[in-house]
């Protein structure tokens, strides 16, 4: 999957999940012609995940640096944000953590996760990758994901 394939949901082949399916948007764009916009609605504190999961993600070569970009709106209720990846193997979570005080609002936040060289990644494919964003209270808003690169 290339960086700009996130702009065209039909090219990724991966299932995407959150409260609602993402839509292609031009509201906040980092690179290219669009970004993925995710609508998030929570009734209280809960964990929110936006990203892709399933075998369609394909294998990622250990040592590959994956750069994720997330637009965080002002007024968000996130207690933290982690760009992450994991396989079906226990304890395979790899992430780039940002506490609430480190998040830029109304701006792009860049996260980097290097694909581990552990057996979980050398013998299998990622099961999930995306953003883990616990919400500290009731909130309705949107986040945007754009320009995911693999180096």
**In CATH, what number is assigned to the domain containing residue 43?**
2.60.120.260
Q: Count structural domains, the chain.
A: 1
Q: What is the pTM of this model?
A: 0.84
Backbone φ, ψ for residue 143 (5° rounding): -130, 155
* pLDDT (tens digit per residue) in 123-148: 777 778 889 998 888 899 999 999 88
Specify the pLDDT at position 13.
Answer: 39
Helices (H) and strands (E) in the chain, counts: 2, 10
For tokens 């995306």, name the residue.
Answer: 130
Specify the pLDDT at position 127.
Answer: 77
Q: Alpha-carbon distance 102 to 83, whole Å? A: 14
* Mean model confidence pLDDT for the chain: 83
Task: List Cα–Cα distances, 10 to 7, 15, 68, 145, in angstroms.
Answer: 9, 10, 19, 16
Specify the pLDDT at position 143.
Answer: 94
Specify the pLDDT at position 122.
Answer: 81
Task: Provide the pLDDT confidence category of residue 11 given band limits of 50, 70 and 90.
Answer: very low
* pLDDT (tens digit per residue) in 37-76: 888 888 888 888 888 777 667 778 899 999 999 999 999 9
Specify the pLDDT at position 10.
Answer: 36
Full domain range(s) for residue 135:
3-150
């Amino acid at each position: 999957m290339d960086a700009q394939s996130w702009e065209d949901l039909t090219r990724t082949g991966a299932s995407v999940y959150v409260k609602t399916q993402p839509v292609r948007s031009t509201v906040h764009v980092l690179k290219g012609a669009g970004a993925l916009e995710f609508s998030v609605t929570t009734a209280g504190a809960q964990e929110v995940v936006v990203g892709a999961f399933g075998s369609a993600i394909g294998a990622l070569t250990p040592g590959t640096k994956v750069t994720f970009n997330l637009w965080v709106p002002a007024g968000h209720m996130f207690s933290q944000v982690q760009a992450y990846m994991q396989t079906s193997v226990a304890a395979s979570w790899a992430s780039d953590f940002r506490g609430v005080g480190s998040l830029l609002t109304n701006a792009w936040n860049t996260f980097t996760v290097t694909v581990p060289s552990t057996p979980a990644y050398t013998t299998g494919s990622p099961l999930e990758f995306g953003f883990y964003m616990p919400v500290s209270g009731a909130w309705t808003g949107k986040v945007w994901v754009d320009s995911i690169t693999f180096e």
